[in-house]
Amino acid sequence: QTEAEENLRSPICCIMGHVDTGKTKLLDCIRGTNVQEGEAGGITQQIGATYFPAENIRERTKELKADAKLNVPGLLVIDTPGHESFTNLRSRGSGLCDIAILVVDIMHGLEPQTIESLNLLRMRNTEFIVALNKVDRLYAWKAQRNAPIRKTLKQQSKDVQNEFDRRLMEVITQFKEQGLNTELYYKNKDMGETFNIVPTSAISGEGIPDLLLLLIQWSQKTMIEKLTFRNEVQCTVLEVKVIEGHGTTIDVVLVNGVLHEGDQIVVCGLQGPIVTTIRALLTPHPMKELRVKGTYLHHKEIKAAQGIKITGQGLEHAIAGTGLYVVGRDDDVEDVKESAMED
């Protein structure tokens, strides 16, 4: 390992797409959780965050025998809602991420919020991988739990393979109409110019090893500079909520830098800047969703990238979507307040 490789932060991956394409279910499948079934109407209404340690990703991808060299400590995945009314949350999520998964339902092809998400990603030149989800819904599909996609496709009947090819071609054509070249990832000879498609099922787990491996490999290959850990704190408020036993808390994504218990922070508030002290730095357990109430781990300090719940006085007026700033030893609080209110 080179020095640069030792000093990488976890990539932040945003999962986007039209409503009900299976974004949350894909994460449930990787986490071994049941978040989606607990959602009101099965609809995601908030941004979520889940941390996947490298060892879990290694375990999940080992069947691909890629000798996956994982230099990053893990992967932080941001779940976003696909419902049309949450454009602001999709925009916030895509603004935070290094790479994205754009989920398309193989039975539906491109839909309005697929295109909206695509445009948000293109606007920021964000790399993304297309997950062509729900392959298990193809008529007469024979599921093979958690299998790599090529292995399971080979074992499908000729009819299923033809139906898969037909729907895949349709999606590739639809992307083409949006001015985008896409190709099945293992046939893609022009990575970088042509975007990768990974067929998946959130129900059977098929294609998930491929998706995880490609995410990590592509991040490590193309974003070493961007993923190099920096001390300067870069942090965004996702949600403001009251949690029993903790009072008002803010959920944040720490993109870079380190936060410590006791740090003096400034966040943008409804009635002006809020200057307070981090009382507690909490995270859910690895592979658990930040937005779902559960037990929390307490930390003295946390290094980026991570989804964090912060408790502190006065945070009830914090505004979601704005930045969190740390008042450093040499900083003037007034300057930091000004930066915070510019958000």
* 263 near Na ion, judged by CB under 5 A: no
Q: 128: exposed, middle or buried (C-beta count within 10 Å: 0-12, 13-18, 19+)?
A: buried
Q: Judging by DSSP bridges, how do beta strands 182-184 and 195-199 pair with one another?
A: parallel
The rounded distance, in Å, linking the Cα atoms of 249 and 227 is: 28
**314: which DSSP letter?**
T
Query: Closer to Mg ion at the Cβ: 18 or 167?
Result: 18
Q: 124: exposed, middle or buried (C-beta count within 10 Å: 0-12, 13-18, 19+)?
A: exposed
**Distance in Å, CB of 141 to ligand GTP, minimum:** 9
The rounded distance, in Å, linking the Cα atoms of 338 and 289 is: 33
* 33 near Mg ion, judged by CB under 5 A: no
Structure tokens at 165: 């090819």
From the list Na ion, ligand GTP, Mg ion, none, pick the one residue 25 interacts with, judged by a Cβ distance below 5 to 8 Å according to partner type. Answer: ligand GTP
From the list ligand GTP, Na ion, Mg ion, none, pick the one residue 203 interacts with, judged by a Cβ distance below 5 to 8 Å according to partner type. Answer: ligand GTP
Query: Closer to Mg ion at the Cβ: 48 or 73?
Result: 48
Query: Closer to ligand GTP at the Cβ: 19 or 254?
Result: 19
Query: Closer to Na ion at the Cβ: 17 or 269?
Result: 17
Segment interacting with Na ion (CB under 5 A) among 14-22, 145-153, 160-168, 241-249: 14-22
| Sign for the pseudo-dihedral over CA of 75, 86, 282, 233 | positive
Q: How many residues bind Mg ion (CB under 5 A)?
A: 3
The rounded distance, in Å, linking the Cα atoms of 245 and 247 is: 6
DSSP lists the bridge partners of residue 251 as 239, 309
**Distance in Å, CB of 172 to Mg ion, minimum:** 25
> Which spans of this chain sit near ligand GTP (rule: CB under 6 A)?
17, 19-25, 36, 42-44, 81-83, 133-134, 136-137, 201-203
| Sign for the pseudo-dihedral over CA of 62, 64, 68, 70 | negative
From the list ligand GTP, Na ion, Mg ion, none, pick the one residue 274 interacts with, judged by a Cβ distance below 5 to 8 Å according to partner type. Answer: none
Query: Closer to ligand GTP at the Cβ: 108 or 303?
Result: 108
Query: Closer to ligand GTP at the Cβ: 41 or 245?
Result: 41
Query: Closer to ligand GTP at the Cβ: 44 or 276?
Result: 44
Give the distance, in angstroms, between the CA of residue 194 and the centroid of all CA atoms in the same chain: 21
DSSP string computed for 196-253: EEEE--TTT-TTHHHHHHHHHHHHHHH-HHHHB--SS-EEEEEEEEEETTTEEEEEEE
The rounded distance, in Å, linking the Cα atoms of 138 and 317 is: 48
Segment interacting with Mg ion (CB under 5 A) among 23-31, 85-93, 125-133, 257-265: 23-31
| Residues in contact with 118: Cβ distance below 8 Å, sequence separation at least 6, in sequence order | 102, 178, 180
**Distance in Å, CB of 146 to ligand GTP, minimum:** 13
From 152, 151, 137, select the one nearest 105 (Cα to Cα).
137
Among residues 33, 44, 236, 311, the one that binds Mg ion under rule CB under 5 A: 44
* 23 near Mg ion, judged by CB under 5 A: yes
From the list ligand GTP, Na ion, Mg ion, none, pick the one residue 202 interacts with, judged by a Cβ distance below 5 to 8 Å according to partner type. Answer: ligand GTP
User: Which positions from 39 to 58 touch Na ion by CB under 5 A, shown as an x/- string?
Assistant: ---xx---------------
Among residues 11, 14, 20, 106, the one that binds Na ion under rule CB under 5 A: 20
The answer to whether 147 and 154 have CB atoms below 8 angstroms apart is: no
User: Which positions from 1 to 20 touch Mg ion by CB under 5 A, shown as an x/- string?
Assistant: --------------------
Residues that bind Mg ion (CB under 5 A): 23-24, 44
Residues that bind Na ion (CB under 5 A): 20, 42-43
